[in-house]
Amino acid sequence: MSKTIRIGTRDSELALWQANIVKKLLEEAGHKTELVPVKSTGDLVLDKPLYELGITGIFTRTLDIAMLNNDIDIAVHSLKDVPTVLPNGIIQAAVLKRGNVNDTLVFKDNEEFLGAKEAVIATGSLRRRAQWLNRFPTHTITDLRGNVNSRLLKLEDNDWNGAIFAAAGIGRIGIRPEEAINLDWMIPAPAQGAIMITALEEDEFIKEACAALNHEETEICTTIEREFLNKLEGGCTAPIGALAYIKDEEINFKGVLLSPDGTKRIDVTRVKKLGEHHDMAQYCADFVIERGGKRLMDKIKNSDRKTNVYSTKSFTEDQRLLFHEKVVAESSDFIKISLNRIAPRLLKNEIENVVITSKNAVESLTTNYSAIELQFKNIYCVGRRTKRLVENKIGKVKHTEKNAKKLAEYLIDYIEGTEVTYFCSDLRLDDLPNILEENNIKVNEIEAYQTKYDGVKVNDSVESAMFYSPSTVESFVKANNTEVIAFCIGETTAKVAKKHFKDVRVAKVPTVESVIELVNEHYV
């Protein structure tokens, strides 16, 4: 227990309060800890409501990157702020016992305005806005952003009747005013009131330390709520509420989907015995979808705005939700991959030095052979995710670099012997083999997979494109002769893009999410 656990957190008062609770619990268990406050995009951009920023995970992305860079060991979040699908390599390590789940109305003077035709209520939440307008359709909603303290000050300084807060937030830091009532009729955000800890999937010590803090009942309920959100959301930001609780060995669930203006509302309730609840989220999401939920979400999602960004790789639904509201993005796979059969004779003896630059090569090898059959002494690869896949399916990686050129430069200085076996595609656009051969290192190329260009012609409204490999650039150029801003995942891709486009930009971190962040920075 000598390792000091570095606790990453946002630097707001509420976030620090939550992080200190985790710190206290870990120290009571005998662990050494250190707080590492980090400022997030969500704290810096306060001129628009959260839903207008078009980003899920706005309060978590900075901490995710810090964790993947090994600057922190765990991150503490309000679970309602966390995307339903975590980044690769990061897991939910624990959920603490849940606090107050309710939304709370803080009002001025008295509550008489609730019976009046006109009133002004402040909130930055699309879910709260929709539910309030559903109940009080003649009231006016004004946007409210900032941390809990600043929002209370804004309420005091403005001519509003009230503002809506999470009861847990104002309660935890002891600033709940007397002029406040819980809105028990308002269905909270999925996982509202719960504190969650994330950690790296590969860090067994940290996972074991956090597991002791996990509250099983809270974990069960919040998992159902978040699964309901995930299955229902369908790629659009919509007003969705969900709450599950356990009583008498039964799980009670209620969920809601509304139109942003509150004029349409679809509710669902469900009760299942504990242990028989595993299909509850799916059942409830299907119930809502079948009763007009799909049509409602399609209406929210579709608009007459024209596409201005095209991605050469299909997005997951959670990735799609990361875009700013000014970005209208479409995506499709510009590259099709076909795995080759690798002849056994090529692998009959142990290979001293192996080079792998893509996950496709890993998939080809492991589709053909078991890890025991892949006798590689030294494995060199490109990219953190490729490395993780290699070590999960084949064996230990000796060294990894961010791109093929840097790996080639490393091998020139440090390789054992003068020969490498390179598992590659039939379309090879990187310089690694040329650099090695120019430095008297023999390269045995084995075609592990085939890459087929499958680009589509994009609309004239498209101003920029997102590229994830040199081959996606070439595929785009074959189908389009238009000038675009090229947002690239790494330097190797950017090098090829510069042959075709004047404005080429490279993401800070080699992930799809980082390329999306680069796009958002341009359009905000």
Residues 87/316, Cβ–Cβ less than 8 Å? no
Q: Which of 388, 345, 339, 391 is nearest to 368 (CA)?
A: 339
First-last CA distance in the chain: 45
**Could you tell me which of 287, 241, 238, 233 has the C-alpha nearest to residue 259?**
238
CA 77/CA 221 separation, integer angstroms: 17
Q: How far is CA 365 from CA 21, 368, 422, 445, in A?
A: 46, 5, 12, 14
Closest CA relative to residue 337, chosen from 430, 203, 469:
469
Task: Locate all alpha helices (DSSP H) within 439-504, ordered by sequence.
Answer: 470-479, 491-497
H/E run at residue 92: strand 90-95
| Structure tokens, 485 | 């801003």
**Residue 275, burial from CB neighbour count under 10 angstroms (0-12, 13-18, 19+):** exposed
Distance CA 418, CA 438 (A): 12
Active site residue 157: no
CA distance 124 to 108: 19
Which residue(s) pair with 378 in the sheet? 353
- Integer Cα distance of 285 and 301 in angstroms: 17
Catalytic residue among 81, 103, 318, 430: 81
Q: Which residues contact 387 (CB under 8 A, 6 or more apart)?
A: 381, 397, 400
Distance CA(152)–CA(177), nearest Å, equals 9
Which structure tokens are listed for 481? 């002769």
Query: Which residues are tagged catalytic?
Result: 81
